[in-house]
Structure 1
Amino acid sequence: MDPVDLPLPVVRRPREGTDAGALERDLRSRVDGEVRFDAGTRAAYSTDGSNYRQVPIGVVVPRTVEAAREAVAVCRDHGAPLLSRGGGTSLAGECCNTAVVLDWTKYCNRLVSVDVENRRCVVEPGIVLDELNRQLAEHGLMYGPKPATHPNCTIGGMIGNNSCGSTAQAYGKVVDNLHRLEVLTYDGVRMWVGRTDDGELRRLTAADGRVGELYRGMTAVRDRYAGLVRERYPDIPRRVSGYNLDSLLPEHGFDVAGLLTGSESTLVTVLHAELELVPVPKHSALVVLGYEDICQAADHVPAILRHEPAALEGVDHQLIHFEQKKHLNPDALKELPEGRAYLLVQLNGDTREEVEEQARALIDAKPEDVGHTWYDDPQHIGELWRVRESGLGATAHVPGKPDTWEGWEDSAVPVPRLGDYLRDLKRLYEEFDYGHPSVYGHFGHGCVHTRIPFDLESEEGIARMRAFVEKAADLVVSYGGSLSGEHGDGQSRGELLVRMFGPELIEGFERLKGLFDPGNRMNPGKIVVPYRLDENLRLGADYLPWEPETVFSYPHDDGRFSRAAARCVGVGKCRSLEGGVMCPSYRATREEEHSTRGRARLLFEMVNNDGDSPVTDGWHSGEVHDALDLCLACKGCKTDCPANVDMATYKAEFLHHHYKGRLRPLAHYSMGWLPAVARAVALAPRTVNALTSVPWVARAAKALGGVAPERDVPVFAEQRFTNWWRERGGPRGDGHRGEVVVWPDTFTDHFHPAIGRAAVAVLEAAGFRVKVPDRAVCCGLTWISTGQLGVAQRVLRHTLDVLREDLRRGTPVVGLEPSCTAVFRADAVELLPKDPDVERLRDRTRTLAELLLERAGDWRLPRVDARAVVQRHCHQYAVMGFDADREILGRAGVDADVLDAGCCGLAGNFGFEKGHYDVSMACAEAGLLPAVRQADDSTLILADGFSCRTQVDQAGTGRTPLHLAEILAAGLHGKEAVADRPVPSPRRALLPLAGAGAALLAAVFACRRVRASRKAL
């Protein structure tokens, strides 16, 4: 085919003419997979990590690669546009479109084969990078490129974007680490492609049919544009912009896999990839160098490159400051040397001595005024890398600062010119009055990341953003650089590519697109024939979201729920499969709607007044309700999410409005009103325990209470903690350290009172005078978690009345149940804002460990000298942190294995609610329960949270977890730490009362009358 005759794409708005209903029916009938055209799914996939939003036609989750091939065929039959999606973290808008979205991540995520000898493997596109490397570790191999999103990015997405990451310094981009790709064109050609020697190329170009046409067309493109490619493609390691026409050059072996890498689903669909692997480094060292200024640090990069680092990253003082304000990576930040800008230099080697020698050589060669620290242990190296990898989230939604956005976030220039480029870029910020945005990135390759405070909600602001990006594009081209050094072109840079490559090469890109996708159905509007960079904005000049009245005050979002709903920036950390707390339901289901990000997208669509929003029913939205139903309200996202999305709070707010004036689920009455129920049961706990041990009574009670039938009803204590306290006669001891209030939460008071007794013993031994409230009190947790916020406010006001005198005297309040403690430390001030007493309550509330460290730091803790497996409660992890507990355990001689296993899965009422049992147990089996089963009998199981202890109790592990207070109290008396838990009374003594008792219990569990429940309070 003559290159002049290569077709150009002509269709700009490809959705026209697509019959979504008929398309959905055919997909359902022909594709082995989940076909979803519902409003909730379309909302969840409407955007990625970029500034752009396009609601998809529908989503297909294929169960096999063959099913995906059939999905493409169905789309072809209907002329429907198609988008193959990875982890959905793309920052240039390439991962959202008005198209049918193929999501590979749930099922098509296998490591198909490993060739250890040749260091290659074959994978399906949905496999997550970290998961792939976990499976390859047994062979001593790994995949080299490692973006910051490595816990959740997929290989298919990395191929689509030609991803890099910090390790590209040693291993290069994805295009440098591919052997072959199996691809599928929109018109149905399926083939393996890779490097093509001259003989094979002659055979393929002479072939009949579509394969021959493709190879003849690629040869024509190569021959026509080879000179321009050699002339105009920047000779830098981070040229990611544009199609990889250079891969077709003879010196690159006519590499069709390389050509298609980075094409962002605009040319083909990747079905399989054969990857080139590298050995896992045996030893590493990380040297951190401190400079006065980020530009000075950039100037020093060429000198450091002479030491052949495996990674070389730059971080400025702004990023560090933002992480400090957001309480990200506090331990790692303490390990940085003096300075206002830093270079992180990783050195790899076969022996510890080798990397130590490299590190010392680097340190010896640095200027005298450059500070340094260095580490060669995996823990510190990992902590310091998290400082860099948190960059995107840390620079978004900084308290007290305007919101920042992508749009010029990954330009790349020749390394020797990096310092000057940064100086010019800073001048450009000042010219456009954008202040001093943080800059950081892959300095060893001249790649710069930044987020800029663009105003994307006014015509003037958007015009200014456009003018800035155009000038920035001209600036980077003047430096011989690339518009994108990592994140791709998509919509952010597609329109700007002509400034970098010139009109002739843009024509070459269009001809290549026309060759592979003549109908422009593959991710249309991205890279070539692009949408404008200022259209399809997620916000935009006409963005006027619904601003509903709320119960929570949302102080971090200017009191606006719409801002809270727009907080997610799409990093996708909530989709990671290991480490941290969030998002337990996603880990169990692998569904986008069950990730923090997916739920945030639905909430954004709920408040979005755009006419094409798929979520239209406001607080009554069934789609939002369904997405939130499997949210465990664990609060893990409050800390783990780089943008601090607090989905537990949003869920409580939504449930409050959703059920306002409507009948609630049974569980909201039984478990939402648990404090009232427990106080009623306290009138006859032995009777209730006996009755709930009768199978048919328990089944009836659980059915009437909306409780999962698989769950056991917890056993109520025969003597409450508060009753024991009164019978004991109140405070004892000299109290030379002052007074403390031990908080009698519902779970300690009614279910595990031994914990309260143990806490009293420990605090008195430490020299405190202990007080326990003499009136019924509650934090309101169960009403918050079920969205009964009006009741929660009344309960909290009552609590403040009881504690007011102590709070005003400065008396600390010790919380034993982490979830209740977290209410006082976080939720209460947002439910009752501007109340000085609730602020005092927040400031006075401490965990047992925190109080002992702060006010009894010189007390010699009782020695326990034992090993323990420790499950942190999610609310403690998210709100209070666990550092104090680690310190106390260490001082007590406890060798603590603190699990990084995520949520226990019970999560308050969640795991008890009917319909949640399977997800609850899947969460527990992801980490907690296997760790408990593997622990030997001499190892203690420590879990301060009632939910965590109950999950272990009811999972048949044969272990009874302890609270920190119980372990310390046992050490006081030199006893073995053994849990004292209530057990049900013998059935036979109370069977005659079963009928009447069952009716009474059912009435209690199904209590619906607010007046009666208030009396119980």
Structure 2
Amino acid sequence: MNPVDLPPPVVRRTTAQVDAEALQQDLRARVDGEVRFDTGTCAAYSTDASNYRQVPIGVIIPRTVEAAEEAVAVCRKHDAPLLSRGGGTSLAGECCNTAVVLDWSKYCDRLVSVDADNRRCVVEPGIVLDDLNRQLAEYGLQYGPRPATHPNCTIGGMIGNNSCGSTAQAYGKVVDNLHRLQVLTYDGTRMWVGRTEAAELDRLASGEGRQAELYRGLAALRDRYAGLVRERFPDIPRRVSGYNLDSLLPEHGFDVAGLLTGSESTLVTVLRAELELVPVPAHRSLVVLGYRDICEAADHVPAVLEHKPLALEGVDRRLVHYQRKKDLNPDALTKLPEGRAYLMVQFHGDTREQVREKTTALIDAASGAADHTWYDDEQQMRELWLVRESGLGATARVPGEPDAWEGWEDSAVPVERLGDYLRDLKRMYEEFGYGQPSVYGHFGHGCVHTRIPFDLESAEGVARMRAFVEKAADLVVAYGGSLSGEHGDGQARGDLLAKMFGPELVEGFERLKGLLDPGDRMNPGKVVRPYRLDENLRLGAGYRAWEPDTAFSYPHDDGKFSRAAARCVGVGKCRSLEGGVMCPSYRVTREEEHSTRGRARLLFEMVRNDSPVPSDWRSHEVRDALDLCLACKGCKTDCPVNVDMATYKAEFLHHHYAGRLRPRAHYSMGWLPAAARVVALAPRTVNALISLPWVARAAKTLGGIAPERDLPLFAEQRFTDWWRERGGPRGDGRRGEVVVWPDTFTDHFHPAIGKAAVEVLEAAGFRVKVPQAAVCCALTWISTGQLGIAKRVLVHSIDALREDLRRGTPVVGLEPSCTAVFRADAPELLPNDPDIERLREQTRTLAELLVERAEDWDPPAVDARALVQRHCHQYAVMGFDADRELLKRAGVTADVLDEGCCGLAGNFGFEKGHYDVSMACAEAGLLPAVREADATTVILADGFSCRTQVEQAGAGRRARHLAEVLAAALRGETPGPERPSRPGPRALLRPAAMGGAAVGALTMALLLRKRLQGRSQGPTAGR
């Protein structure tokens, strides 16, 4: 091939001169998908999990692969830069750009076909790794590489980054597990590519057209750079930096799919992938070896590798310390052996005996370890493995520690030199004043992860960060390593590739880019001809945040809303589709804006002074993104950096609607406690009225309530009224006094729960008190953002409790959401009130009180099976350990669901416009589980919302509170299933039960009906 056939280097064109309006119109006309150029969407996609930020031109969410191909054609017509994106968790800035973003993750997520005999499958790029492996499980197969983000990373994103994960120890990187790729160049050339035999290469290169031109150019690049590739590409398993020119070498079969893997959307758009699969291991074990320090642990890696593990990970003491401070994986941390650093070693095999032999052999040979432990129970291994997989989130936003950032999180060196490399790296930390950040990672491949406390908000700090990274790059090159061992180059390392590969190979990368994307329209400024590593920073020297006054105190963010809004680091755990609570609306809509991360991005954009989102509380972009937030608080626990979107939503609504009319639901449901007290004057009449269809329709219309919902019926006798008639406290009180909190839902709707709790507590030896004054936790005002009123209500309630609080009397909450207010929200709304702090410390759930204060009390034997739906606020704030213990002591075999939020979530599921999302959340896990439950199984749900959702969803079951189940057992009753029943208006309107006030209320309702009917027949009825 003549030298003239060598492709020229790409010419950088990073500035997008695009008529966005014309582009948007063409996309809407031609593309089967969602075309979004609005400010809110662009803000949500402005960054990934990196330090970088670039607002996109627009976002396309194609419904099919063919629609994506059409989108590329429209972008080509308008000369618009293009960026393919998967889960958006990239750490090097490759998933943000001033370009049109093609998001595959919502619709293009199909497993197209499975060839089990040949262990292959074809997938679309938006399929999530865990979802793929769930579908492959029936074949006994899985996709081998498994990054820590496996619950939410997409296969397309993994191909773009050449992902690895811990199992790459046995299975290799993505490039080692691909058979073919179907790709599309920016100029419209669509083709399947893979390994190419010499004869086939000659045939393809000798033809006419663009495809032949591409193959000729690739062959020329191979011939020109083969020697340099063999010389300069480090011979280590984790070389991810640069383009995979080594895949074109004869010894690698001229693998064009391998060449394009890890190219980070800078060369082609991947349409489909044919993956090579591996069997699911029949048996596994996990050995944890303890060492004196992480460098010593690294020294022993080569010896451990002789045992051929499935995975070999390193964890230092600081990572463990950070997880303890953040209360991450507390049970798993107790299973670690003695030591200040650990090697976590997984084995797999066909039989348990085979695995145990490998395990024993390693333990016998591990003479350098100070201690060890090992497990072969899947649940225990899964818990322990989370200690390692939580690393990225655990090292970010650690309480009491300076903020730490990526930027040098992914280097890799030969394993035999790993210990020395870590020693030199730690000396560099000290030299630059960064202390001793945590180091951990895929030690079996010499890959090191870390987050460093860079100062990214001053010119001096940014300059120091760049100086450190440049010196660290020199260090890695001196060790024969790779700048990136997993997360790619993007912008963070593209600027440094010449240090690793030399100028000639970098020119080869530029020629490859020039061949496949000569116009520099594919993710420009990343990998080659890159932006500088210190520009386009999400913070940066010029970052000046808007700092508004707030109602909440944000004690974990230095009292600054701007820091709370910047808390998200983009890990994307909120985009996982199974397990935990976070994020229910994303699981239904699959919309970035409806993930915790998307909402956090919009809040961050709101507090910037240079953002398309205005820096004020009136932002409709933020309002719209928050609309489908269920305020479930799942993110407060599930998010590794503890983003608390429920609090942020309440804060935003408080300011957004200040001084103007609110949505009707804020009045009807926000003021529910006050309305319920009025209804208590004639509950039977109100129940009868709202059971009349026309009254219910009118009430729901006026109240902004979803027409599909049934209005809950009020109790005929409130819990507090029963308490007064009962005559107050009883019992010897040998265990002391407790206050049972009469929350609105227990008091006015389900008073039987309050009565049951009193019965149980007295049987356990407590003297029970109930506040005599009208009190409320202010939950409904908080959730609707009426925080001024909420504070006043809380102050009033504290006045009623003050004497008991100062005596140290425990307060028992029966409704989890109200209990969570006392444990979390109230101290942040009224941070300087010592009695509020006492309330936080003294508030307990029923189970917590009985487990902590009545250890020797034997609960009544329930001896039943229960399906348990944890309330989201209990999951997030109080936890469920005490309930598990109490249920166990009562003989209950509890199946505690891990199916996410019930979907009702207080006022959310009742609000007009939310019904479909609410029910979809319930159908994702809770309701199918209820329907499948055996008829003798008790449905247990302490939350009013959860019980209401079960009853109103047509599952034919009634959920019960823990107090009810225990009280029934005390009475010797069998806690069998209960069917929901709703009396009709005739039953509720028995004349004997209606006083004069009730008749008057009914008469007024009838007059209102007549008036409404008259209006509907008038000349304006058709408007």
User: Corresponding residue for 1:14?
Assistant: 15
The residue that corresponds to 1:705 in the other structure is: 703
Matched to 1:356, the amino acid is: R
Partner of 1:629: 627
Q: Counterparts of 1:1001 and 1:906 in 2: how far apart (Å)?
A: 30
Aligned counterpart, 1:1012 = none
1:998 is aligned, of 1001, 1005, 1009, to 1005
Work out the CA distance in 1 between the residues paired with 2:393 and 2:550: 26
CA contact (8 A) 2:288 2:336 kept: yes
CA positional deviation for 1:995: 5.1
Q: Deviations over 1:222-270 (max 9, x none)?
A: 0000000000000000000000000000000000000000000000000
CA distance in 2, matches of 1:805, 1:394: 41
Residues 14, 520 of structure 1: 8 Å contact kept:
no
In the TM superposition, residue 1001 of structure 1 has moved relative to its aligned partner by 11
- Closer, same or farther: CA 24–572 of 1 in aligned 2, 3 Å: same
What secondary structure, in the 3-state scheme, does the structure 2 residue paired with 1:553 have? Answer: coil
Residue aligned with 1:896, SS: strand
Cα distance change of structure 1 residues 841 and 496 upon mapping to structure 2, 3 Å threshold: same
Does residue 532 (structure 1) correspond to residue 515 (structure 2)? The answer is: no
Counterparts of 1:396-407 in structure 2, within 5 Å, are: 396-407=396-407
What is the DSSP-based 3-state SS (H/G/I as helix, E as strand, rest coil) of the residue aligned with 2:289?
A: strand
3-state DSSP of counterpart to 1:799: helix
Counterpart position of 1:309: 309
Equivalent position amino acid for 2:732 in 1: D
Q: How far apart are residue 368 of structure 1 and its match? A: 6.4
Are residue 770 (structure 1) and residue 777 (structure 2) matched? no
Q: Does 1:869 pair with 2:867? A: yes
Equivalence for 1:683: 681
Q: Deviations over 1:51-80 (max 9, x none)?
A: 000000000000000000000000000000
Q: Following the alignment from structure 2 to structure 1, what is the Cα–Cα distance between the partners of residues 355 and 961?
A: 43
3-state SS, counterpart of residue 372 of structure 1: strand
Number of the residue aligned with 1:644: 642
Q: Is the 8 A contact 1:554 1:560 kept in 2?
A: yes
Contact 1:688–1:997 at 8 Å: present in 2 too? no
Structure 1 SS opposite 2:122: strand
Measure the CA separation in 2 of the matches of 1:995 and 1:269: 66
Q: Aligned letter for 1:827?
A: D
Pairwise CA distance, 1:785: 0.2
The DSSP-based 3-state class of the residue aligned with 1:286 is: strand
Displacement of 1:11 in angstroms is 3.0
Q: CA deviation at 1:970?
A: 1.2
Residue of structure 2 in register with 1:421 after alignment: 421
3-state secondary structure, aligned to 1:618: coil
Write the distance in 2 (CA, Å) between the matches of 1:79 and 1:3. Answer: 30
Residues 561-640 of structure 1 aligned to structure 2 (within 5 Å): 561-610=561-610, 613-616=611-614, 618-640=616-638
Match of 2:169 in 1: 169
In the aligned structure 2, how far is the partner of 1:491 from the partner of 1:134?
34
Is the CA contact (8 Å cut-off) linking 1:752 and 1:982 kept in structure 2? Answer: no
Aligned partners of 2:124, 2:325: CA distance in 1, in Å?
Answer: 40
C-alpha deviation, 1:987, in angstroms: 4.8
CA distance in 2: counterparts of 1:225 and 1:591, whole angstroms:
43
Q: Which structure 2 residues correspond to residues 211-222 of structure 1 after superposition, within 5 A?
A: 211-222=211-222
- Correspondence for 1:754: 752
Q: CA offset at residue 360 of structure 1?
A: 1.1
Counterpart of 2:11, as a letter, is V
- Is residue 281 of structure 1 aligned with residue 281 of structure 2? yes
Q: How does 1:477-876 map to 2 (within 5 A)?
A: 477-610=477-610, 613-616=611-614, 618-876=616-874
Q: What is the CA deviation profile of residues 500-554 of structure 1, one whole-angstrom value per residue up to 9, with x for unaligned ones?
A: 0000000000000000000000000000000000000000101001000000000
C-alpha separation between the residues in 1 aligned to 2:597 and 2:758? Answer: 42
* Separation in 2, partners of 1:914, 1:999: 25
Give the deviation of 1:887 after TM superposition: 0.5
* Residue in structure 1 matched with residue 69 of structure 2 by the alignment: 69
Alpha-carbon offset, residue 996 of structure 1: 3.5
Deviations, residues 381-416 of structure 1 (Å, cap 9, x unaligned): 110111111100000000011111000001000000
Aligned equivalents of 2:508, 2:866: Cα separation in 1: 64
Cα displacement (A) at 1:994? 7.2
Which residue pairs with 1:1006 in the alignment?
Answer: none
Q: Which range is displaced more, 19-28 or 361-370?
A: 361-370
SS in 1 for 2:40: helix
Query: Counterpart in 1 of 2:933?
Result: 935
1:905-920 equivalence runs, <5 A: 905-920=903-918
Kindly indicate whether residue 895 of structure 2 is the aligned counterpart of residue 888 of structure 1. no
TM-score for the superposition, normalised by structure 2: 0.97
SS of aligned partner of 1:358: helix
The one-letter code of the counterpart of 2:390 is S
Counterparts in 2 of 1:351 and 1:1000: CA distance versus 1, 3 Å: farther
- In the TM superposition, residue 977 of structure 1 has moved relative to its aligned partner by 2.2
SS in 1 for 2:617: helix
Q: For residues 1001 and 947 of structure 1, do their structure 2 counterparts lie closer, same or farther at Cα, with a shift above 3 Å needed?
A: farther
Deviation at 1:861, TM superposition (A): 1.2
Aligned equivalents of 2:952 and 2:603: distance in 1? 35
Corresponding residue number in structure 2 for 1:1011: none
State the alpha-carbon separation in 2 of the partners of residues 156 and 740 from structure 1: 56
Q: Deviations over 1:752-801 (max 9, x none)?
A: 00100110011001000000000000000000000000000000001110
Query: Which residue is 2:292 aligned to?
Result: 292
After superposition, residues 453-492 of structure 1 pair within 5 angstroms as: 453-492=453-492
SS of the residue aligned with 1:719?
Answer: coil
User: Which residue of the partner structure matches residue 106 of structure 2?
Assistant: 106
Distance 2:373 2:708 in 1: 54
Distance 1:132 1:439 in 2: 31
Identity %: 81
4+ aligned runs moved over 6 Å, structure 1: 979-982, 990-994, 999-1002
SS at match of 1:620: coil
Partner in structure 1 of residue 28 of structure 2: 28
Residue pair 2:870, 2:941 contacting (<8 A) in 1 also: yes
Shift of 1:729: 0.5
**Superposed CA offset, 1:860-880 (max 9, x none):** 111100000000000000000
RMSD value, Cα:
1.3
TM-score scaled by structure 1? 0.97
Q: Is the 8 A contact 2:14 2:520 kept in 1?
A: no
Q: How does 1:85-100 map to 2 (within 5 A)?
A: 85-100=85-100
**Residue segments in structure 2 that go unaligned for 5+ positions in a row:** 992-997, 1010-1023
SS in 2 for 1:770: strand
- Assess if the C-alpha contact under 8 Å between 1:717 and 1:982 holds in 2: no
Distance 1:994 1:374 in 2: 70
- Aligned pair count reads 999
Superimposed CA distance per residue, residues 183-241 of structure 1 (whole angstroms, 9 cap, x where no aligned partner) = 00000000000000010000011011111110000001000000000000000000000
Q: Distance in 2 between matches of 1:556 and 1:617?
A: 22
Instruction: Write out per-residue CA displacement over residues 419-478 of structure 1, whole angstroms, 9 at most, x where no aligned residue.
Output: 000000000000000011000000000000000000000000000000000000000000
Equivalent AA in structure 2 for residue 972 of structure 1? L
Q: Hey, what does 2:246 align to over in structure 1?
A: 246
Deviation at 1:366, TM superposition (A): 1.1
Alpha-carbon shift at residue 2 of structure 1 (Å) = 4.2
Per the TM alignment, residue 12 of structure 1 is displaced from its structure 2 partner at its CA by 3.0
**Amino acid corresponding to residue 92 of structure 1 in structure 2:** A
Supply the AA of the counterpart residue of 2:319: L
1:530 and 1:792 mapped to 2: Cα distance? 51
Aligned partner of residue 619 in structure 1, secondary structure: coil
Q: CA 1:641 to 1:2, structure 2 compared with 1: closer, same or farther past 3 Å?
A: farther
Task: Note the C-alpha offset of 1:365.
Answer: 1.1
Q: 2:553 and 2:795 mapped to 1: Cα distance? A: 16
Q: Is the 8 A contact 2:956 2:980 kept in 1?
A: no
Q: Distance in 2 between matches of 1:465 and 1:987?
A: 72
Specify whether residues 228 and 659 from structure 1 end up closer, same or farther in structure 2 by C-alpha distance, changes over 3 A only.
same
Please report how far the alpha carbon of residue 909 of structure 1 lies from its aligned counterpart in structure 2 after TM superposition.
Answer: 0.2
**Is contact 1:12–1:529 with CA below 8 Å preserved after alignment?**
no
- Structure 1 residues 643 and 162, CA, compared in 2 at 3 Å: closer, same or farther? same
Partner Cα separation in structure 2 for residue 824 and residue 237 of structure 1: 52
Q: Distance in 1 between matches of 2:583 and 2:149?
A: 15
Shift of 1:339: 0.8
CA distance in 2: counterparts of 1:994 and 1:180, whole angstroms = 73
Tell me, in whole angstroms, the C-alpha distance in 2 between the residues paired with 1:3 and 1:284. 54
